[in-house]
Chains A and B, each alone.
Chain A
Amino acid sequence: MKYRLNHFALGARNIYEAAARLRKETGFGYTTGDWIQTTGCHMVPLGGNVFIEVEGTIDAHAYLAMPKPNYTYDALDTDNEYNGDHFTGMMLGVDTLEELEEIGKRLGGGVTPNWPDPYRHFQRPDGYVRRFQSAPYYEPTSGKSRPRGMPNFYWYPDVPGRPSNQPVVSTAHLVTPTGVKWVEYGGTEEQMSKWLDVPKASDVLPFRFNGKALGTWAICVGVEGGDDVVIRRPPSAASIPDDSKYKANSVA
């Protein structure tokens, strides 16, 4: 089984502000308009079919009606030098549905259904509905959940349609990212290796481990004709020292 980096979720209080700030920091362009239910994303292609989704709640009415406490909201509510930005997820990719099903089974769950309702999928303003599946998926009644901070796995059948491969909005001073060079992750190599079921995770993907709270801490991205850039934000778990009061992870 071949693992790839698929994408990173960068949670933001205000995705418009966060994406504009990330562009000033890196020179990387982005697309706008992607959304699913009450979450919107500005997408930052990184090269090599990998992207960052700058994600946030874009519906205050819906947020107020949600059950509380809300893990992601509370993490983003913690002030930092990035207006509250936190890495909220790392998503790995596999190349086939069979591989995804195997992962789901190994981790005691299954694969998300390919729901027919477009409202359950990311949509774009050009009408595109992004169909993908992820694992491990646990039925809501199972009582099981993915450990917080460990990556989930995705299968995107439409590689050209992936957000990494859409044209960014043109603006001055853009630079071209050439792919992820390394990822700084919390926890230990042993934890990640066990989760991936491989002898050594850093032989499979360009990981470095810092032993801190689980989650993405930094991404180093190559830049065409320029120095590499390191995008550093705390992961959610760094700002939620006691997660016992929160319900289990979402499943998608």
Chain B
Amino acid sequence: MAISINHFSLGARNIYESADRLNKETGFGFWTGEWVQTTACHMFPLGKDVFIEVEGTIDAHAYLAMPKPNYTYDALDVDNEYNGDHWTGLMLGVESLEELEAVAKRLGGDVSPDDSKVNPYSHFRRPDGYTMGYQSAPRFTGPRPEKWPRGLPSFYYYPDVPGRSSNQPVIARPHLVTATGVKWIEFGGTEALLSEWMGVPKASDVIPVKFNGKEVGLWAVCVGRDGMDDVVIRRPTAAASIKDPSIYKDVPRPRS
């Protein structure tokens, strides 16, 4: 099974402000308009089919009607030097539905259905009318097994690689630089934990990951730049700002 890095979620209070700031920090371009239900994303291609989704709630009315407490909202509510930005997810990719099903089975969950044709509202959509059909795993329909803390990566199968968010043209603006791919990521927890989750002997032999032993989740992404030094995008991981995760229900994310 070939496991790769698929994308990263960077949670933001205000995706417009956050994406503009990330552009100034890195020189990377982004594009706008993608959304699913009450969440929208500005997308940053990083090269080699990988991207960051700067994601946030864009419907205050819907947010107020949601059950509370809300894990992601509360993490983003913790101030930091990045206007509350936190890494909210690392998503890995596999290359076939069969591989995804094997991952789900191994981890005791199942695979999210591909209902993009009949229920586009539950999938990411773009203003050009494109509906992103993909599937992810593991989906736990019951309680999340205690063995697996929040912050571990989910697995995705994107059948349409050219349609992937990494492969769309960014909006032209001055001083853009070209991202040439992820060099390494810094992740919380231990190599043993992530290796077991991925079902591999050593996670860092499969993806370029370094471990810092802190809360489980993404802490930094190092990206190459064409003709320039690499850039490290560093934000706290959501779990670092949640003191008592036991008060949160494990509400499935809308898109998984």
Indicate which residue in B14, B84, B173 contacts A58 across the interface (CB closer than 8 Å). Answer: B14
For residue A171, which residues in chain B have a CB less than 8 angstroms away from its CB? 127-129
Give the nearest-CB partner of B76 in chain A.
A61
For residue B19, which residues in chain A have a CB less than 8 angstroms away from its CB? 125
> Given known contacts A32-B127, A172-B129, is B40 in contact with A60 (CB within 8 Å)?
no
**Other contacts beyond A20-B127, A59-B13, A60-B57: 14, CB < 8 A:** A14-B58, A14-B62, A16-B33, A16-B35, A30-B127, A42-B33, A42-B127, A57-B60, A58-B15, A58-B58, A62-B13, A73-B61, A127-B173, A171-B127
Q: Are A19 and B127 in contact (CB under 8 A)?
A: yes
Indicate which residue in B35, B61, B77 contacts A61 across the interface (CB closer than 8 Å). Answer: B77
Shortest CB-to-CB span from A70 to chain B, Å, is 9
Q: B125 in the interface, Cβ–Cβ < 8 Å?
A: yes
Interface residues on A, range: 35 or more
Q: Are B33 and A32 in contact (CB under 8 A)?
A: yes
> Given known contacts A61-B84, A125-B42, is B128 in contact with A35 (CB within 8 Å)?
no
Docked Cα-Cα span, A76 to B61, in Å, equals 9
Residues of B within 8 A of A (CB): 13-17, 19-20, 30-33, 35, 38, 40, 42, 56-64, 73, 76-77, 84, 125-129, 171-174
Residues of A within 8 A of B (CB): 13-17, 19-20, 30, 32-33, 35, 38, 40, 42, 56-64, 73, 76-77, 84, 123, 125-127, 169-172
Docked Cα-Cα span, A19 to B32, in Å, equals 14
For residue A127, which residues in chain B have a CB less than 8 angstroms away from its CB? 173-174
Q: Are B171 and A125 in contact (CB under 8 A)?
A: yes
Docked Cα-Cα span, A76 to B127, in Å, equals 23
Q: Are A35 and B33 in contact (CB under 8 A)?
A: no
Docked Cα-Cα span, A123 to B171, in Å, equals 13
Q: Are B125 and A20 in contact (CB under 8 A)?
A: yes
For residue A32, which residues in chain B have a CB less than 8 angstroms away from its CB? 32-33, 127
> Given known contacts A125-B30, A125-B42, is B58 in contact with A73 (CB within 8 Å)?
no
Q: Are A33 and B38 in contact (CB under 8 A)?
A: no
Docked Cα-Cα span, A32 to B128, in Å, equals 11
Q: Are B129 and A33 in contact (CB under 8 A)?
A: no
Q: Are A169 and B58 in contact (CB under 8 A)?
A: no
For residue B31, which residues in chain A have a CB less than 8 angstroms away from its CB? 125
Q: Can you show 25 pairs from A to B with CB atoms below 8 A apart?
A: A13-B59, A14-B61, A16-B33, A33-B33, A33-B171, A35-B16, A38-B14, A40-B58, A42-B33, A56-B59, A57-B60, A58-B16, A58-B40, A60-B59, A61-B14, A62-B14, A73-B60, A77-B61, A125-B20, A125-B31, A127-B173, A127-B174, A169-B127, A171-B127, A171-B129
Q: Which of A59, A123, A171 has the most CB of B within 10 A?
A: A59
Q: Are B13 and A16 in contact (CB under 8 A)?
A: no
Give the nearest-CB partner of B20 in chain A.
A123
Give the nearest-CB partner of A39 in chain B.
B16
Docked Cα-Cα span, A15 to B15, in Å, equals 14
Docked Cα-Cα span, A106 to B42, in Å, equals 43
For residue B40, which residues in chain A have a CB less than 8 angstroms away from its CB? 16, 58
For residue A63, which residues in chain B have a CB less than 8 angstroms away from its CB? 60
For residue A35, which residues in chain B have a CB less than 8 angstroms away from its CB? 16-17
Q: Which of A17, A73, A76, A126 has the most CB of B within 10 A?
A: A17
Q: Are B32 and A16 in contact (CB under 8 A)?
A: no
For residue B64, which residues in chain A have a CB less than 8 angstroms away from its CB? 60
Indicate which residue in B20, B42, B58, B173 contacts A15 across the interface (CB closer than 8 Å). Answer: B58
Docked Cα-Cα span, A125 to B19, in Å, equals 9
